[in-house]
């Protein structure tokens, strides 16, 4: 297992020890070749998943402001049949949402069999921003790791493939991106003073992310810390990881498609005979 993938509860997670840069020897040209092939693979896998309806896929994207959550979704969409895909962005909870338990707004967007749900932020915000800013008492958010583990276990029992990504950028890279955003007319609309304020809490978020990853890592719901300073490498890591997670199911899905085809053909033959 690479040292940026966490599959065990209690794993030691030190973000500062994990590089945010592409590894030596990896180039954008190499990545792009690979990305093209992976995109086609993902398309076929997702199509089979959709038809077979044996599994659902939940992809959770977390990261600091400007870490590239939106960019990752944009990139993934190039390798997906949008029929069967939902993107859900979780912002500040509404009054109605706050008047429910924290998983209420999330659970209703869990993907049904055949579908893929891409979460832009997620239930993890309730142990991240909520913890960093004391939005609820510690006694409450501390319990949430267990609730999250139980929730993800439940989804898994319902044949949902759960994959969680932390897009890992450095503080320097974040500053560069926020300033670039401001300078470009095409991206200035994204400028948000909150992003600069949140930046002041960098170390608190680091602690909160390390805890969240460590306390909720599981073989059935792994966390991948994605080196995300280079967008092309970030895209490669996420795409490759999703394809790797889906591939083991390919045979079962294709078999199911065959069965469905057989049943459908038999039904048509029956109709013609009548
Ligand atoms: P953005 O992703 O830039 O659209 O911003 C969404 C904002 O909603 C971020 O500042 C999040 O921290 C915030 N947010 C998301 N979930 C929660 C939550 N459960 N409680 C409080 N704030 C949240
Ligand atoms: Mg933001």
Give residue-wise pLDDT tens across range 188-217: 999 999 999 999 999 999 999 999 999 999
CA distance 180 to 199: 16
* pLDDT of amino acid 267: 96
Establish whether residue 92 lines the binding site of ligand 1, counting it when its CB lies within 6 angstroms of any ligand atom: yes
CA distance 36 to 19: 25
Give the pLDDT band of residue 237 (cuts 50, 70, 90). Answer: very high
Atom 1 (ligand 1): residue with closest C-alpha? 91
Give the pLDDT band of residue 2 (cuts 50, 70, 90). Answer: confident
Q: Which ligand neighbours the alpha carbon of 122 most closely?
A: 1
Asked whether residue 176 carries a pLDDT value surpassing 90, the answer given is yes
* pLDDT of amino acid 135: 97
Atom 20 (ligand 1): residue with closest C-alpha? 92
Contacts of 60 (CB under 8 A, 6+ apart): 119, 122, 124, 162, 163, 164, 165
- 136-153 as b/e: b if 16+ CB within 10 A: eeeeebeebbeebbebbe
What's the predicted TM-score (pTM) here?
0.97
Establish whether residue 130 lines the binding site of ligand 1, counting it when its CB lies within 6 angstroms of any ligand atom: yes
Compute, in angstroms, the gap from residue 4 CA to the centroid of ligand 2: 25
Helix (H, G, I), strand (E, B) or coil at 136: coil
| pLDDT tens-place string over residues 74-95 | 999 999 999 999 999 999 999 9
CA distance 50 to 61: 21
Helix, strand and coil in the chain, % to nearest 5: 55, 15, 30
Q: Are 114 and 84 in contact (CB under 8 A)?
A: yes
Compute, in angstroms, the gap from residue 137 CA to the centroid of ligand 2: 23
Percent above pLDDT 70 for the chain: 100
Best mutation site among 60, 90, 144 for ligand 1 pocket (most ligand atoms within 8 Å of CB)? 90
Atom 15 (ligand 1): residue with closest C-alpha? 91
Establish whether residue 71 lines the binding site of ligand 1, counting it when its CB lies within 6 angstroms of any ligand atom: no
Determine which helix (DSSP H) or strand (DSSP E) holds 78, and give its type and residue range: none
């Amino acid at each position: 297992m690479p040292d940026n993938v966490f599959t065990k509860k209690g794993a030691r997670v030190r973000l500062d020890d994990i590089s945010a840069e592409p590894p030596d020897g990896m180039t954008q040209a190499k990545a792009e070749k690979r990305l093209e092939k992976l995109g086609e693979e993902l398309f076929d896998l997702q199509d089979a998943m959709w038809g077979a309806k044996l599994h659902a896929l939940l992809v959770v994207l977390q990261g600091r402001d400007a870490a590239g959550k939106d960019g990752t979704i944009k990139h993934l969409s190039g390798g997906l049949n949008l029929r069967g895909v939902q993107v859900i962005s979780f912002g500040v909870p509404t009054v109605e949402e706050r008047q429910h338990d924290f998983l209420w707004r999330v659970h209703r967007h869990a993907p049904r069999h055949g579908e893929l749900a891409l979460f832009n932020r997620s239930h993890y915000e309730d142990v991240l921003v909520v913890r960093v800013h004391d939005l609820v008492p510690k006694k409450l958010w501390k319990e949430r790791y267990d609730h999250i583990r139980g929730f993800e276990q439940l989804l898994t029992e319902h044949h949902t493939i759960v994959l969680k990504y932390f897009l890992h950028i450095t503080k320097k890279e974040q500053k560069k991106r926020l300033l670039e955003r401001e300078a470009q007319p095409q991206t200035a609309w994204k400028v948000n003073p909150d992003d600069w304020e949140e930046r002041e809490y960098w170390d608190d978020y680091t602690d909160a992310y390390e805890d969240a990853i460590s306390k909720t890592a599981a073989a059935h719901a792994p966390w991948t810390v994605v080196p995300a300073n280079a967008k092309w490498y970030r895209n490669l890591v996420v795409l490759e990881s999703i394809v790797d997670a889906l591939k083991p199911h390919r045979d079962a899905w294709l078999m199911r498609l065959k069965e469905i085809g057989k049943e459908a053909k038999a039904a048509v033959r029956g109709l013609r005979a009548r």
